[in-house]
Amino acid sequence: MNSPYVTGHWKPLVAGRALPADLADHASPRRPAGVAGALLNRMFVYASPAQALALQPYVSSEHGGFVLHGARGGVATDRPVLIDPAAYEKHVATPDAPFLLPTGGGLLSIGLPELLDDQLAAGAIAAITPTKFIAAGDTESLKAAARQVAQLGRQDVLLLAPLDISLVGRAHIDEVIAILADAGCPVALVLGRRFGSLAQTADRVVPYIRHLRLLAATVDLMPLRTDLTAFDLVAHGAFAGALRGGGPVRRTADASPDVLVPEFMAWWKASELVDLFGARENLAPRCPCVVCDDQRLTRLVRAHHAEEAMCHAVATWGSYAGDMLGQQTMRGRAEYWRNLCRNAVGYHAMFTQHLRRVRPLVPHKSIHAWATLPPWT
């Protein structure tokens, strides 16, 4: 077997399922059963309904779509849509109550099937479960969620697994994969670090990259809020992924937007980007995306540029996603992604030199790891 996972401390079998060692030669991951099959080979934008309206012109109808955060009511877009109830943001799962369901003494009790039906009625292609946050070590709650979804026997549902990131560590990964594989439906993945704090900053995932790739290659997986990890997983077996348009929300006085810097494959605070280039603004990168049309990224510095910065980000990573998904094989995808990360590492060195910096520009640890780990061996 050629899998990079079947060496060292790795067990070659997870829950009795052999690793798909030949996946690298496939043209695409396996198509999920049921209506979720329509999600295959798409990179969705994770956005609020208002953001989605602004972003729609930059989202590919062939390779894109929207995951709307907590959207209610109808959805006005012709792109494929999913709705994330985001119950994990405010609630922690227990084995007795892994899902957030309305409690009420009324005659009409609303159960899980009705909640899922509401999403479909609102225009979602498939429904996402209102799973509460699965805390560190709490595989019992994850089991309860998977069991309840399996009992529904539906083919139009994604089980949302909002996991404390330690659950994909060595102590739990085998059990987590086994539980998710038994859910009988595709899995949407959200990673958190402690309740209330999403692991949006991708550096958190560095110790878990191989485990996450194994998860993506073993169960039908769609990472939702995992930052650029979505690219790494779609390159290694996830059937789809989602990525935000805007930067992380920071509560600071500095209102300048976060800007995706393609050269660095990282979001930079616009004011910090302006500081970086200082008097050498002529060295600031020009962006070829349809939003920027070769203008410099350092123009996006004021609070009112937030929407333009978001459109630039989606146009930019959307074109990378299209190129990556257009590769002939999964190996080609993984190599495309690794090259993006390698180039980003190289640009950090190049700008360090051009700007004559004493302290070198350092790529994110995750970018460095994705640039150097063997994609498929």
Give the residues lining the site for Zn ion (CB under 5 A): 287, 289, 291-292, 312
Question: Which phi-psi region, left, alpha or beta, contains residue 303 (left: φ > 0; alpha: ψ -120 to 50)?
Answer: alpha
Distance CA 150, CA 154 (A): 8
Distance CA 109, CA 61 (A): 38
Q: Closer CB to Zn ion, residue 23 or residue 287?
A: 287
Q: Closer CB to Zn ion, residue 173 or residue 300?
A: 300
Least distance from Zn ion to the Cβ atom of residue 243, Å: 15
What residue type is 241 in one-letter code?
G
Structure token pair of residue 56: 């729609």
Q: Closer CB to Zn ion, residue 265 or residue 289?
A: 289
Distance CA 55, CA 50 (A): 9
Least distance from Zn ion to the Cβ atom of residue 223, Å: 24
**Tokens 């650029």 found at:** 228
Least distance from Zn ion to the Cβ atom of residue 316, Å: 5
**Pairing mode of beta strands 66-69, 266-269:** unpaired
Least distance from Zn ion to the Cβ atom of residue 300, Å: 9
Q: Closer CB to Zn ion, residue 88 or residue 317?
A: 317
Least distance from Zn ion to the Cβ atom of residue 270, Å: 13
Least distance from Zn ion to the Cβ atom of residue 289, Å: 3
DSSP label of 16: T
Longest dimension (CA), the chain: 71
Q: Closer CB to Zn ion, residue 210 or residue 320?
A: 320
Q: Closer CB to Zn ion, residue 159 or residue 289?
A: 289
**Tokens 């790494």 found at:** 232
Q: Closer CB to Zn ion, residue 29 or residue 246?
A: 246
Q: Closer CB to Zn ion, residue 312 or residue 333?
A: 312
Sign of CA dihedral 86, 99, 35, 231: positive
Least distance from Zn ion to the Cβ atom of residue 207, Å: 32
Q: Calculate the CA 24 to chain-centre distance.
A: 21
Least distance from Zn ion to the Cβ atom of residue 54, Å: 15
Sign of CA dihedral 11, 17, 18, 19: negative
At residue 14, what are phi and psi to the nearest 5 degrees? -125, 120
Nearest one of 206, 213, 156, 148 to 179, comparing CA atoms: 148
Residue 96 burial by Cβ neighbours in a 10 Å radius (0-12, 13-18, 19+): exposed
